[in-house]
Amino acid sequence: MPRKAQNLFSTARGRVRASMNKVNLFNLYKKNPINYKGMTLYQQKWRAKQETRAYHGEHVKETRWKTLFSPNLESVAQLDASLKGVEVENTPLTLQTYAVLEKRLETALFRAMFASSIRQARQFIRSGDVQVNGVTIKHPSFPLRSGDVFNVNPEKVMYALGKSKPSVTEAVKVDNAQVSAWNRFVQNVRENPKAMWEMRQAKPESLNPLQKLGLASSIKKHNDDIQSSMLSSQKQTTRESVLAKILGVAAGKDVDALAAADFTAIVANSKKDAEKCLAAYKLLKEADSALVGAHSLDQCRDYIRTKSPEFKTPEDAKLASRVKKVLGEIVSLQVEGLRVASVEAKMSSDPKLATFSTELGKKLHKKRINDVEAVTEDEKKAVKFPWQKHLFGRKDPSKTYFTPWTPKGFLGAFAILPHHLEISFETCHAVYLNDPVARPGHSEVISPFPEHVHERAYMYYVRKGM
């Protein structure tokens, strides 16, 4: 039977535990180095044993631990052909004092970051959520051997390393605070949009490099798409294509019934260009050009490419010259219009260069406060924000953890991968490569205590000195 979990994270006692609890991190942060001044040798050994046992196997009773303890510490050393060993660091053998505990399945689960503490790892094992070599194991003290593969139910890992799921009442409280802040922001934008815009521009840039990189890449892709679309449209805007569209719009219509408004669709609603289109058609119609009756793109291309000396009469050459001039003006205006439109549509890579608009406040709307009783009956009735379409932390109410999944706070301080495990977080599998050993300048047993503390703890248990 393990020890009872009583007052494990007391800030008064300040013991460091094998847990990812934030209070445990605080105890580790405020812990001072052990001062042996004025202590007898036995007191030093007792203090070291007291501190190290609080972290290494605190759930294992002392009598049980004494039967597990082995005075033979495992280590390896690189062969030195010179036999001098001048540049070889010392091997921290005494850090192997608690290496025997690293073989236990519960400890391996915690080291692989499949559980937030060894006690939680024991719960996962006893509930049948852990398998070793494809077989469900329900004994937390199961000893692993080299080559063993163990895995955990991914849902349990998400629960262990994710933020805690808020209750409906807690989620509504957070959302209502967001609603109040949003409504104040909307009111301030409506009253003084210029000041709010300047304040927004003065905010520091995101410190997340991945977020900044993703935003920059998305903006670049958006601008590149606009640029390629503009170049394609400009390439298709030629005198012959414009002429074919003009003749197509005017086909079968009386010239007196035509107006400039009839041509706005083919010149991007430009009134000036539409008038030029009407003028070009009237020139052809008044000259009774053969092009009016047959207006395919190939015929228009032949007409535009025909040079003045190649026309039958000087009048036809003069007419063609005037029509080409008008069409050239239309094409120039259209190409410039496409360029200006693309420049306006492009996004600035620097948000501070974005154009201020006094209409900003009209696009924002206030939100209503959530009703706790109504939301409790149906969470879909919760207020939706631009950044959140569900209750805070309850995107999927069926899950036992915060959704969308978010890692628990201060998780990075405990993210230490051991040398004796090969871990796949995608499948929640891990391979126990070998028993942890000590090497020159390094021990594979993870511990928050230095070598001199483990040295005295080892002396306490070995009973025969060193």
Domain extents for the chain? 22-163+404-462, 233-345
Q: Which residue has the higher pLDDT, 155 or 441?
A: 155
Gap between the Cα atoms of 49 and 64, Å rounded: 15
Task: Tell me the pLDDT tens digit for each residue of 337-389.
Answer: 778 777 777 766 655 555 566 666 777 777 777 777 777 777 777 878 878 88
pLDDT exceeds cutoff 80 at 402: yes
Closest by CA to 276, choosing from 236, 328, 318, 237, is 328
Tell me the pLDDT tens digit for each residue of 112-131.
999 999 999 999 999 999 99
Mean pLDDT of 244-272: 67
Is the pTM value of this prediction over 0.85?
no
- Tell me the residue type at 286: E
Widest Cα–Cα separation across the chain: 123
Q: CA-CA-CA-CA torsion for 55, 59, 60, 62, nearest 10 degrees?
A: 70
User: May I ask the CATH class of domain 22-163+404-462?
Assistant: alpha beta
Average pLDDT over residues 94-98: 94
CB 50 within 8 A of CB 58: no
Q: Does 177 or 82 have the greater pLDDT score?
A: 177
CA dist 291 and 316 (Å) reads 12
* Burial (Cβ within 10 Å: 0-12, 13-18, ≥19) of residue 157: buried
Rounded Cα distance between 153 and 429, Å, is: 9
% of the chain residues with pLDDT over 90:
40
CB-CB neighbours of 124 under 10 Å: 22
Higher pLDDT, 314 or 141: 141
User: Which is more confident, 346 or 7?
Assistant: 7
Tokens representing 139 are 């004994």
Q: Extract the tokens encoding 391.
A: 């209750």
Distance between CA 259 and CA 227 in Å, rounded?
33
d(CA 343, CA 334): 14
What the block records as the tokens of 102 is: 């690293």
Query: How far is it, in rounded angstroms, from Cα 215 to Cα 123?
Result: 42
Residue 324: CB atoms within 10 A of its CB come to 17
For β-strands 421-424 and 130-132, DSSP reports them as unpaired
Average pLDDT, the chain: 82
Encoded amino acid at 67, one letter: T
Cβ atoms of 281 and 253 within 8 Å: the answer is no
- What lies within 8 Å, CB to CB, of 222 at 6+ separation is 346, 347
The reported pLDDT for the residue numbered 466 is: 45
If you average pLDDT over each of 75-84, 214-223, 446-455, which comes out highest? 446-455
Q: Which of 67-71, 139-143, 177-181, 312-316 has the lowest mean pLDDT?
A: 312-316
Statement: residue 165 has pLDDT above 80? yes
Average the pLDDT over 161-166 and give the result.
92
Residue that is written with structure tokens 């969470």 in the block: 379
Q: Which of the pair, 465 or 433, is modelled with greater confidence?
A: 433
Q: Identify whether the C-beta of residue 150 lies closer than 8 Å to the C-beta of residue 429.
A: yes
Instruction: Check: CB of residue 383 under 8 Å from CB of residue 370.
Output: yes
* CA 448 – CA 288 distance, rounded (Å): 97
